[in-house]
């Protein structure tokens, strides 16, 4: 009987929710999400982008804006470099009814299988001068990124002025497949990915040491 072919990729399956947000100064907000990942990664099923409903605060939880907006996507890859991140953008009306950004944030998909919860600190870009700030407020054109994916990248951070504003909470259910077969061990203790360690016999062979295990006689 022929041996099964070895896998050439591993899978990362993610589902969960963008649960809620805390923006004390704002109400009637909605959010958008998208994923940023490395060149070796590719989505195989699910949605890469989404936009939620508008939600408002209520008497039961006056500080929370509850979306419970679903996330469901599967990726394939050959190595963990460029592990996917989810980028969240929150929008809502300003004093004049213009739709403006209220916060950006990003977080890596958890490395370890299982259920996880993450709270993302959000931020918004700021104008570089008081005149620009007043003009943007008057015209309803607040500073924002043309592509929210830059939030998960490093380019231009040193010249971008931002201000912290609000939090968004997400929940993830993560499943991985064939990572160990490709030599990657997801360690729950450190929440990081490390190559699978060689066995004692393999290590001795690599170092040129004689085997410490006696050969069994037939």
Task: Tell me which of 3.90.79.10, 2.40.10.120, 2.60.40.150, 1.50.10.100 is the CATH number of domain 10-207.
Answer: 2.60.40.150
82-141 pLDDT, tens digit each:
999 999 999 999 888 888 899 999 999 999 999 999 999 999 987 666 655 656 655 656
Structural domain spans, the chain: 10-207
179 by Cβ neighbours in 10 Å (0-12 / 13-18 / 19+) ranks as: buried
What pLDDT is stored for residue 211 in this prediction? 41
In angstroms, rounded to a whole number, what is the distance separating the alpha carbons of residues 109 and 175?
11
Ranges under pLDDT 70 in the chain: 1-4, 127-143, 155-159, 187-218
Q: What is the per-residue DSSP string for 71-94?
A: EEEEEEESSSTT--EEEEEEEEE-
Nearest to 151 by CA among 34, 24, 22: 34
Copy the structure tokens of residue 103: 């916060």
Question: Do the Cβ atoms of 71 and 16 come closer than 8 Å?
Answer: yes
The pLDDT value given to residue 195? 54
């Amino acid at each position: 009987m022929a041996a099964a072919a070895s896998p050439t990729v591993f899978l990362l399956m993610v589902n969960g929710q963008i649960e809620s947000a805390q923006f004390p100064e704002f109400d009637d907000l909605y959010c958008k999400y998208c994923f940023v990942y490395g060149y070796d990664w590719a989505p195989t099923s699910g949605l890469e982008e989404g936009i939620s409903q508008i939600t408002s605060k209520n008497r039961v939880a006056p500080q929370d804006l509850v979306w419970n907006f679903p996330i469901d996507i599967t990726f394939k890859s050959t190595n963990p470099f460029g592990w996917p991140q989810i980028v969240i953008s929150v929008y809502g009306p300003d004093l004049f009814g213009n739709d403006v950004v209220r916060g950006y944030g990003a977080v890596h998909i958890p490395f370890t299988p299982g259920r996880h919860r993450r709270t993302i600190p959000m931020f918004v870009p700021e104008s570089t001068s008081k005149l620009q700030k007043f003009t943007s407020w008057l015209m309803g054109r607040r500073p924002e990124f043309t592509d929210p994916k830059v939030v998960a990248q490093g380019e231009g951070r040193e010249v971008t002025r931002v201000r912290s504003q609000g939090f968004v909470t997400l929940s993830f259910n993560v499943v991985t497949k064939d990572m160990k077969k490709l030599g990657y061990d997801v360690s729950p203790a450190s929440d990081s990915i490390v190559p699978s360690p060689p066995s004692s016999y393999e290590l001795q062979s690599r170092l040129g040491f004689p085997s410490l295990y006696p050969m069994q006689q037939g």
